[in-house]
Each structure stands twice: as C-alpha cells, then as structure tokens.
Amino acid sequence: MDGQIQVGPWLVEPRLNIVSRNGTAVHLEPKVMEVLLCLAAHPGDVLSKEELLKAVWPDTFVTDDALTHCISDLRRVLEDDAREPRVIQTIPKRGYRLVASVVATNGTQPSTRTVPTTVTGAVTRRVRRLRTWAAVGGVVLLVVLVVALRGRRADPGALPPIHSLAVLPLQNLSADPA
C-alpha cells in the first residue's frame, strides 16, 4: 500500500513507517508496520496468529512472541488498552482483530488485496536479498576451503605420503653382544 490510511484517529504512512495524530508522529519498526497493515487490510475480521505470522514472516520460523511484541508496540503507539480495546482486540486462542475504523485517504475503504500484496512484496524482496547473501557466503566459504586444501597439498615442506615400508635386519655395531 503506497497511500496513507486512517486507522481510527491515526494517520498511517506505510512508506515512511510512521503513524501520526494531532501533529505527533511516531516511527514504527518495519515488522510492526506490516502487522498493522495486515490488520488494516481486514478491518473487523479476526486474523489468526498463523495468518499474521505467515504474512509478515513468510519462509521464516519465528515464535508467537515476535507477533506479541509487535501487537504490544502497536497498542503502546496507538494508545490502546488490551483490557478495553479501541484499536486492536485480542480474541483468545484465535488471533487479533482491528476494531478501529479504517479509511484510505481518498475516502474509500482500502482494498483487502492492496495491503497483503505490498507486505508480501516487501518481505519477498528481503527474503530474496537474504538468500542472495547466503549464496554468496556459501560460495566464498567453498572457495576458501578449496584454496586451503590445495595449499596444504602444494606445501613444499610437507612430507609425501608413505606408500610402502621396508623392514631391514639389524646389525650389532658394538662389541657388546647384549
């Protein structure tokens, strides 16, 4: 979602990871913003923890604690109380629901397709970047191992491997027969 949305009295600017109200702006961590956008894409609907985890952290294993931390940050920033929710309601053993009104700045309801596509796109770019760096790291590690193994074999001071062994009889070179 490129445009701004209104969540209750809060103006949400996804591109800047900022929510503001009455001239006061608060910067959100990217994952916290993604959780808010997922909830805003489905106002009034209960989103399970699994759905939120899959949307915000695809192809990544995270515990429920990461989501709980994001929800806690959102409640703090949006001045919401878990016991008397005006923005985010916890549905025990089911998930979370955005109870505040959601309006796009052009006055229409935001499309439920807009937010997940953007969230998924941002996450997909991060996953691709992470995979690229992992592949580069793997190649570098492989090159280092190959060079180290070749360098060990080509070492001029290293002894050649033993292929055979000869046992010769002993001669007594002293006058003492013992």
- Residues comprising the chain, all counted: 178
Which residue shows structure tokens 């013992």?
Answer: 178
Residue 33, both tokens: 């913003």
Say yes or no to pLDDT of 110 above 60: no
Sequence spans of domains, the chain: 5-130
How far apart, in whole angstroms, are the C-alpha atoms of residue 120 and residue 98? 20
Contacts (Cβ under 8 Å, ≥6 apart) of 102: 5, 6, 7, 40, 43, 109, 110
Q: What is the pLDDT of residues 87-99, one digit of tens each?
A: 999 998 889 999 9
Say yes or no to pLDDT of 32 above 60: yes
Q: What is the pLDDT of residues 141-154, one digit of tens each?
A: 888 888 887 766 55
Mean pLDDT of 119-136: 69
Say yes or no to pLDDT of 170 above 50: yes
Q: Dihedrals φ, ψ of 177, to 5°?
A: -75, -15
For position 36, what pLDDT does the model report? 92
On whether the CB atoms of residues 46 and 33 are closer than 8 A, the answer is: no
Tell me what the pLDDT averaged over the chain comes to: 81
Residue 144, both tokens: 């280092």
CATH number given to 5-130: 1.10.10.10
For position 22, what pLDDT does the model report? 86
For position 155, what pLDDT does the model report? 56
Say yes or no to pLDDT of 156 above 50: yes
Contacts (Cβ under 8 Å, ≥6 apart) of 153: none
